Structure 1
């Protein structure tokens, strides 16, 4: 037990140090935390105890993503937001599957295809703010499309993981899983906001205002377990609970307190654990596929989201800007991958591929975005 506590202390210390260093050179903190894990893993082998603790970071990451969204924002996404997200997800999945199939076979190609679907636009938002273009038509489209994209990406991955865990993809199993997902989403979005709001009001009224965050955490773990019990991915339960809580008046305090807990402890532990589990010795063998997959993941979003923007009524130049803005990937893919690995669907070599995809997509987005807006 003492060794585990020291292990966690070392992980948090290196995560904070490398996260700060990477932020100083203009790179995402997440990448610094992963690199710290890679270096730490060369000296200390990862343990199952640490992995179990870091999985809390996965759930909290998706929980916060849900809290940052809202049902009202989904409703106001508009034609362009929905078409950008939908076509972007379809094209990214198809191209990701296509490049992975010759290397990994049908089952794992489905998973790799699903892992290309999410988008993380925090980097895009930062660049657009610097250029004073966040409130432009392209900026607002990217923001609304990202919300829809999150939900579609999580649903796609939930369906893929559930299908593979149940023994393979068939029409019957697919229909059954989609029905479960539909019921679960309907329950969480239409019934749970009222139930949660009522329960939290009662807690505050009897003088336990500080317990709202504790009860939210308890609900997070309960609904993650419920999703797993229904043979769905636990991340779906975590995300939808966050989305349900975003419809209550307690959204802001729960988000602020949960964010501090998550990003101070559990999320850094998760990303360091990811780095520690990357098989550096397999770098040469995974090199070609990792590079090809990363390039396809970048191009697929430009093409798919660009086509979606054209369908939504935007000009070719605006569509290109939206496509580039939807390129970045960040932590959601790794959270999804951790769930797939825990289910035994894929090996640790997948970490190397996805980390490279995240690194390249965050590296190319700022210059490409500035180039796309050049001459405006």
Structure 2
């Protein structure tokens, strides 16, 4: 049964709002509610290609907003603990993800799944730390700074993996060329784009078209995403790096505030509902055991990797364990990465089920584990 596009979008937005509200009321991430709502909606009305194309804009907005919320200064000030936590966590997560998947899916899919395990979504962790009054602790600061570095590394790894898989493989020279492209993109975004876009937006304001700064920013965002894809990299890399570039200008706050309303009211909810609508429920029985093994590997990889990074940086075992637990959750970036991989035709429908189940379980286990790790010290103090 097919619906007209406008009616589809209306149903998707109402579903996102309704289930997001329900999950917020029971103390769960709104995103999970939107995905569940999408699953139910998809059982009645399978998504059309037009709906999928529009929802992909949500992927770009999601990464653009993440870039805007970061800053080059924050990356420079991440410090030894945040940097080592992120780097070691990403490396270990990739290796464990690869090792877990390889016996089931082979080399190419193991590369992709390994890349998909690398990012972290700490919004849930931040909420729990705020409840525990522990956000400003050594552990809280390390988790927040590590998450920024973590996402950038994860997006870069996925860009490299997608480029390799799209090209059908790559030798050392090919991988070197891909890394050079990524480095060129990074350098341009950090050193060239900020002053250029700042000058351009100032010109627009002086000409009396202040409101056009938002429109112009969106145009450059899509151009950056297209450029990244044209270079055989992930479009989300372009979206993230342009957001990071804009964060270095005086227009960061107004563009963030105006874009946030549109992005979080329309495009990002559409994306998460679309994720749910695209989950093939018939495949759950086929991936059940593999999904469980992969999820355990993904959870353990962050505890070990990020915990080890924090320990190497000089924190004690208890602090390192807390940081490792706090870095467990996955959410928005992983789904954006998965959507890009599916759009590139290098991953099948089963991956949707596996990644979404991993996201659900990782977000469910983090709050109790985090509270338990902090409650031990409190009980010892009393």
2:227 is aligned to 226
Deviations 1:111-168 (CA, angstroms, capped at 9, x unpaired): 0000000001111111111111111011101111111101100000100001100111
What is the aligned partner in structure 2 of residue 93 from structure 1?
94
The residue number in structure 1 matching 2:122 is 121
Could you say which residue in structure 2 is the equivalent of 1:21?
22
Partner of 1:301: 302
Q: Deviations over 1:81-132 (max 9, x none)?
A: 1100000000000000111111111101100000000001111111111111
Secondary structure at the residue paired with 1:373? helix
Q: Residue deviations 1:325-361, cap 9 Å, x none?
A: 1111111101001111011100121111111111111
> How far does residue 2 in structure 1 lie from its aligned partner after superposition?
7.9
Q: Which residue of 2 aligns with 1:205?
A: 206
Q: Which residue of 1 aligns with 2:242?
A: 241
Which residue number in structure 2 is paired with residue 141 of structure 1?
Answer: 142
Alignment pair present for 1:315 and 2:309 = no
Give the structure 2 partner of residue 194 of structure 1: 195
Question: In the TM superposition, what is the alpha-carbon distance from 1:169 to its structure 2 partner?
Answer: 3.2
What corresponds to 1:352 in structure 2? 353
Matched, 1:168 2:169: yes
Q: Does 1:12 align with 2:21?
A: no
Report SS of the residue matched to 1:117: coil
- Counterpart Cα distance in 2 of 1:364 and 1:220: 36
The corresponding residue for 2:159 is: 158
Question: Relative to structure 1, is the Cα distance of residues 278 and 2 closer, same or farther in structure 2, using a 3 angstrom cutoff?
Answer: closer
Query: Hey, what's the Cα distance between the residues in 2 that align with 1:294 and 1:153?
Result: 17
Root-mean-square deviation (CA), in Å?
Answer: 1.0
Corresponding residue number in structure 2 for 1:77: 78
Taking the aligned partners of 2:104 and 2:49, their CA distance within structure 1 comes to 29
Q: TM-score, normalised by structure 2?
A: 0.97
Distance 2:3 2:326 in 1: 46
* Cα distance per residue 1:189-209 (max 9 Å; x no partner): 110000011111111122111
Deviation at 1:14, TM superposition (A): 0.8
CA offsets 1:262-314 (integer angstroms, 9 cap, x no match): 11111111111111110101111110011111111011000000000011110
Q: How does 1:55-70 map to 2 (within 5 A)?
A: 55-70=56-71
Looking at structure 1, the residues matched to 98 and 44 of structure 2 have their Cα atoms a distance apart, in angstroms, of: 35
> In 1, distance between residues paired with 2:298 and 2:210?
45
CA distance in 1, matches of 2:164, 2:148: 25
Distance in 2, Cα, partners of 1:211 & 1:373: 48
- Cα distance in 1 for partners of 2:69, 2:328 equals 20
Separation in structure 1 between the aligned mates of residue 37 and residue 292 of structure 2, nearest angstrom: 22
Question: Who is 2:362 aligned against?
Answer: 361
Distance 2:91 2:3 in 1: 48
Q: Aligned partners of 1:13 and 1:194: how far apart in 2? A: 41
SS of the counterpart of 1:152? helix
Aligned residues: 376
d(CA) in 1 for partners of 2:171, 2:89: 25
In the alignment, structure 2 segments of 5+ residues that lack a partner are none
Structure 1 runs (4+) deviating above 3 angstroms are none
CA distance in 1 between counterparts of 2:197 and 2:105 reads 43
